[in-house]
Amino acid sequence: MFKRLKPAATLLFYLVQGCFSYSPAATADADIPPSYQWGRGFSWPAANLNLGGYFNASYQQPESLKNKTTLDELSLFITWSPHQRVRFFSEVEVSDWLSTEGIDTLNNAIRAERLYVDLLATESTTLRLGKFLTPVGRWNITHAAPLIWTTTRPLVTERRLFTSHASGLMLSQRIDIGDHNLEASVYADDSTDLDVLDNELGFENAIGGRLTFDITEQLQIGASFIDYKNKSITRKTRNDLFGLDLLWKKDGYEIEMESIYRTADDNQGEEKGLYIQGVAPLSGHFFAIGRYEYVNGTHRFIPTNTDIGVTGLAWRPFTPLVIKAEYLFGDQNQFVAPSGFFTSISMFF
């Protein structure tokens, strides 16, 4: 594992060191002592360093499949700013390591989810180099279990549709339009050469962009595009994926929607789909969640025309902790998202 991590770490080290001379942290940061806060990690202001992470464990009882209890994710974040204009971030994750089906080797289970350096070119322009979350829709970029409301993931956001990570560079620009923020990102992936910590579902290469716009304090809309080629597909043709998303939040209520359209020339065919999810606060830090999904087309090479519903509860007794339980049901969903009961506990630490 360490052998696999070393080239990426070395690359980032030289990149940072080569581009910028070292500049010490602002002096008075030293006045604030290192501290730990539950859900915000360990902070060492004098070194501009923060360590944190999260875990997620689930119990899944899908109909017609084996029940399973799993430690799905144990993630560690490291954020370090060695210079005013440089920010290094890594997320190393142990994934599906322990489960009632067995114990995987650490070498198989551990991987770098994210490993990048941000170069802050101006106050509103950032260049990101390394491995980062593919900016398609909202779910993928905020997919940490303590942030999301359900144990199951909508089909239009899942990793087999587009891989959740890209390795390459991304340029982001924030534009203030009156009282509104518009954020534009373009990125290029070359996972074949750059993702030394690759996973089998990775891109071969990709190019894409994303726009998000804050219409009001409560409402944000987004649009995504990606043109990509996957590594794992035998017949490697290019796919184009278009997405639109929306998030509205007010007083604990939330509506989230994502829709996609994917097309390819060969047997990967095309597919379209969406989900819409609503959240309503109940008493005692409980929340009710309802979600509807629709997918039509060739999903994971399977002709699919399915409607899926999810109904569940989430309990957030403290900000960093969430316990979820849900029932998933649907029509013609047995191959892509089997009906069943799913529950999980997750926490930022």
Least Å distance, CB 269 to other proteins, is 34
Question: Which of 6, 13, 32, 236 touches other proteins by CB under 8 A?
Answer: 32
> What is the bridge-based pairing of β-strands 270-281 and 286-299?
antiparallel
List the one residue from 27, 64, 105, 283 that touches other proteins (CB under 8 A).
27
CB 79, min distance to other proteins, A: 4
Distance, CA of 18 to CA of 236 (rounded, Å): 37
**Neighbour tally for 132: CB within 10 Å:** 24
How near is the Cβ of 315 to other proteins at its closest, in Å?
Answer: 15
The residue behind tokens 């990709």 is 206
What gap in Å lies between CA 50 and CA 56, rounded to an integer? 21
Cβ atoms within 10 Å of 21's Cβ, excluding its own: 7
Question: Do 340 and 61 meet the contact criterion of CB atoms below 8 Å apart?
Answer: yes
SS3 at position 4: helix
CA distance 269 to 240: 11
Q: Which is nearer to other proteins, 236 or 250 (CB)?
A: 250
- Judged by beta carbon, residue 129 or residue 295, the one nearer other proteins is 129
Round to whole Å and give the CA distance between 133 and 241. Answer: 16
Name which of 170 and 264 has its Cβ closer to other proteins: 170
Residue in the structure block whose two tokens are 């309802």? 290
Is residue 77 part of the contact set for other proteins (CB under 8 A)? yes
Selected binder of other proteins within 123, 234, 235, 284 (CB under 8 A): 123
The residues with which 228 forms a beta bridge, in sequence order, are 206, 239
From candidates 12, 52, 273, 294, binder to other proteins by CB under 8 A: 52
Stretch that binds other proteins, among 31-39, 185-193, 237-245, 258-266 (CB under 8 A): 31-39
Nearest to 256 by CA among 119, 177, 156, 189: 156
Q: Nearer to other proteins by C-beta: 34 or 303?
A: 34
CB count in 10 Å sphere of residue 216: 10
Q: Which stretch binds other proteins (CB under 8 A): 32-40, 205-213, 222-230, 332-340?
A: 32-40
Residue 87 in the binding site for other proteins (CB under 8 A): yes
User: Which of helix, strand or coil describes residue 245?
Assistant: strand
Instruction: Give the Cα separation of 306 and 331 in Å (integer).
Output: 6
β-partners of residue 244 are: 223, 259
Q: Which stretch binds other proteins (CB under 8 A): 101-109, 121-129, 221-229, 295-303?
A: 121-129
- Residue nearer to other proteins on the CB measure, 31 or 200: 31
Question: Which amino acid, 267?
Answer: N
Candidate residues 97, 139, 149, 348; the one interacting with other proteins per rule CB under 8 A: 348
Site for other proteins in 159-178 (CB under 8 A): 174, 176, 178
For the record, the structure tokens of 269 come out as: 């065919």
The distance between the two most distant Cα atoms of the chain, rounded to a whole number of Å, is 62
Binding flags for other proteins, 197-236, as an x/- string (CB under 8 A): --------------------x-------------------
Dist CA 299 CA 315 (whole Å):
32
The least CB distance from residue 250 to other proteins, in Å, is 10
- Smallest separation (angstroms) from other proteins to the CB of 196: 21
Establish if 147 lies at the interface with other proteins (CB under 8 A).
yes
Q: Which residues contact other proteins (rule: CB under 8 A)?
A: 26-29, 31-32, 39-41, 43, 45, 50, 52, 54, 77, 79, 81, 84-85, 87, 89, 120, 122-124, 142, 144, 146-147, 174, 176, 178-179, 181, 217, 319-320, 348
